[in-house]
Amino acid sequence: MKKTSTRLADGRELIYYDLRDDTVRDAVDRRPLERTVTTSEVRRDPLLGDSVAVASHRQGRTYHPPADECPLCPSQGERLSEIPDSSYDVVVFENRFPSLAGDSGRCEVVCFTSDHNASFADLTEEQARLVLDAWTDRTSELSHLPSVEQVFCFENRGAEIGVTLGHPHGQIYAYPFTTPRTALMLRSLAAHKEATGGENLFDAVVDGELAGERVVLEGEHWVAFVPYAAHWPYEVHLYPKRRVPDLLGLDEEARTEFPKVYLELLRRFDRIFGESEPPTPYIAAWHQAPFGQLEEFEGVSRDDFALHLELFTIRRTSGKLKFLAGSESGMNVFINDIRPEAAAQRLREVASS
């Protein structure tokens, strides 16, 4: 992997990740852009104890542009985009309309391929490995920023999810705090460790699933399963079998096997509802240990946390979506319309082509 860092016309950082070491990236951003002005701030809810990012400047962000005006495609002639070069393998750049900025963190865009009509599932194993390496590199770099406590790599796919740019891409949020979902995991981890005299909850969950009926895919170094208490109609958790706290902890064997397992999983997601259905909308979310202090979670260290990816769709059946209505949105109590065991069976049945 070759990494080349440059700057866009308004001062934002852009990084090329290339498969070939001899690739030259010297294209200049020719757009007449002014410096980006953001109004991002983080406010803490005194009743719930969680944080809300207020980013009113995002109202003007690019919204469903036509394909020939996509800002994530490479620049061609006088058609200038966020990527100055005429081609790329993987590109990461600072979001022009970030939810978090400055002392409130940082937001980046990850373009998986220059092919506008592709998806992550269309990547080769070599390309998917390059994306993994880019996620890992960005996690390392962002973790050293003084305002950053947790790094979250994720992909939203599909208009049903709320995606406003159709080009295959994901994002990275670098939060200035430990996210509420991660805090819940850490509290459960601490409680289980104390109650069992030191047993790791993540290890117990993975071992239990490996011995059960909800495993969807299993490799030598990774296992994918539908969790016992799945929140979403089709939800799969992907874990490395050797527990590590973050992407930086993966060894070469796990990195090599990841593309094969993950691409197969994504392709099965696209076949759940039949070939006549549009591509399955999904969210793919990497959960990594926070880089900040964990004193409030007594007895727990970063090494107790288990890196994993959660992949889920809001489509519950053909032509129908799972909406977060009163119970989910009002009380955070999910109601799942599909038994996790049935979802796992379905995902085992739909071998990718």
Q: Which residues are designated catalytic?
A: 169
Element (H, E) at 61: none
Torsion of CA 334, 52, 149, 92, to 10 degrees: 90
- Integer Cα distance of 95 and 257 in angstroms: 30
Where are any strands of DSSP class E within 273-344? 282-287, 308-313, 315-317, 320-321
Return all residues near 340 (Cβ < 8 A) that are at least 6 apart.
214, 226, 227, 228, 229, 230, 235
Nearest-angstrom CA–CA distance, 280 and 315: 7
**132 vs 110: CA distance, rounded Å:** 11
Cα(208)–Cα(149) distance, integer angstroms: 31
Taking the CB of residue 104, how many other CB atoms lie within 10 A of it?
22
